[in-house]
């Protein structure tokens, strides 16, 4: 059977409609940014951490804010499994960051932190709703929700920490155990802390375990 090359015989209204759709997409990209998948190097960067607990094909990186205007220029947001990076902290490849104003460790720390929210989302947790709860409790004032050192005790696992603390713990551990960083870790206090190893023991063994998701939204 011979199929006509339909695109060559489109009517004028159809061509006009397609043109308008194309223009609209370009305008939306200019306003809201553009999306991409993970690069091969980004996958290699985070797969040793999250293993097969994440469907990496579903992860999208958004070059733009989730909340236009109100999202700070150096704050990433991952409410629904897509990471939203404003211009100031966007990279084409977070495995090989080229932003001149940011320490490579800091930008990779941020990337792994946000990938933790992807992990949470894909396992059935809602960073969006729980982030709102943390915000209502004042957790984002002075970054209180991210601090975990004062709360570290023996016999804890990852589920004892809120969603932001989990991101901090996993990102800190990544930076402090990665040999390819060339400058000091932004959070060097994880070195020499055996309790962190204990907290992440089950996560490192089986990151697909949903029991490791946050049990509380304490700020």
- Band (pLDDT 50/70/90 cuts) for residue 6 is very low
Of 45-49, 54-58, 95-99, 188-192, which gets the smallest average pLDDT? Answer: 188-192
Give burial (CB, 10 Å; 0-12/13-18/19+) of 172: buried
Of 51-60, 114-123, 209-218, which gets the smallest average pLDDT? Answer: 209-218
Rounded CA-CA distance 136/134 in Å is: 5
- 94-144 pLDDT tens trace: 999 987 556 778 899 999 999 999 999 999 999 999 999 999 999 999 999
Does the reported pTM lie above 0.95?
Answer: no
So where are the chain's domains? 33-212
Rounded CA-CA distance 86/72 in Å is: 8
Q: What is the 3-state secondary structure (H, E, C) of 73-141?
A: CCCCECCCCEEEECHHHCCCCCCCCCCCCCCHHHHHHHHHHHHHHHHHHHCCCCHHHHHHHHHHCCCCH
Share of the chain above pLDDT 90, in %: 58
């Amino acid at each position: 059977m011979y199929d006509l090359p339909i695109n060559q015989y489109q009517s004028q209204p159809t061509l006009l409609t397609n043109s308008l759709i194309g223009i609209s997409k370009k305008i939306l990209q200019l306003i809201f940014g553009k999306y991409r998948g993970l690069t091969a190097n980004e996958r290699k960067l985070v797969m040793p951490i999250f293993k097969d607990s994440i469907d990496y094909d579903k992860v999208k990186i958004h070059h733009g804010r989730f909340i236009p205007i109100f999202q700070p220029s150096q704050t990433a947001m991952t409410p629904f499994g897509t990471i939203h990076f404003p211009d100031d902290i966007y990279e084409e490849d977070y495995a090989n960051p080229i932003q001149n104003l940011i320490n490579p460790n800091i930008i990779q720390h941020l990337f792994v932190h946000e990938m933790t929210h992807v992990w949470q989302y894909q396992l059935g947790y809602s960073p969006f709703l729980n982030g709102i709860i943390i915000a209502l409790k004042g957790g984002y004032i002075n970054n209180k929700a991210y601090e975990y050192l004062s709360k570290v005790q023996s016999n804890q696992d990852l589920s004892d920490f809120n969603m932001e603390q989990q991101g901090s713990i996993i990102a800190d551990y990544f930076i402090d155990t990665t040999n390819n960083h060339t400058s000091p870790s932004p959070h060097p206090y994880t070195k020499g802390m055996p309790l962190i190893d204990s907290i992440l023991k089950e996560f490192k063994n089986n990151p697909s375990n949903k029991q490791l998701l946050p049990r509380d939204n304490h700020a």
